Amino acid sequence: MIRLALNLPKLVTQPPPLLVSRAAHSITLSQMQIASLLANAFFCTFPRRNAKGSETEYANYPDINFNRLFFHKEKRALEKMKCLLNYFRRVTRKEATGNVTFTRQYICYQDLPAWESSSNHLPKIHINTNGLIEDASGLLQADFANK
């Protein structure tokens, strides 16, 4: 895990662009780049990201360092730690070779469809509860992270 963190300068040669609000953008990272970034977040090596206050550089972004996770005493924090440690155990035993693309979609308010007055039908959809999406080919995963 320490080796993952130390390899960051080799794996991530320039700062990844931040996906700012109100702008559509995508970023693709290798799984090893992500693992290295997460290892550094685990060891809290992003010092400027710890700064608080509305005038700081990253005031509008969530924390990247895991220091807050270490201080929580709830059971869910322990379960998150178990998940992270399992992830690091797996990625250090067998180097991950895939890529992950993060995409932020944005539609201006005036360009939003008028869903309530639309007479268009939605296309047919197939849902399968067998297996894992990670084991299937040609599928997409989506996380609707609206607050």
Which of 27, 41, 39, 32 minimizes the C-alpha distance to 12? Answer: 32
Residues 6+ apart with CB under 8 A from 28: 99, 100, 101, 102
d(CA 144, CA 147): 9
pLDDT in tens, 52-96: 677 777 777 777 888 888 887 788 888 989 999 999 999 999 988
pLDDT in tens, 19-34: 888 889 999 999 999 9
d(CA 12, CA 5): 11
d(CA 129, CA 127): 7
Q: Is the pLDDT of residue 4 over 70?
A: yes
Its pTM stands at 0.73
Asked if 4 and 39 count as a contact pair (C-beta separation under 8 A), the reply is yes
Q: Is the pLDDT of residue 143 over 70?
A: no
Say what the pLDDT of residue 136 is: 77
Identify the sign of the CA torsion 31, 146, 52, 54.
Answer: positive
Identify the sign of the CA torsion 5, 10, 11, 15.
Answer: positive
Which of 42, 43, 32 minimizes the C-alpha distance to 80? Answer: 42
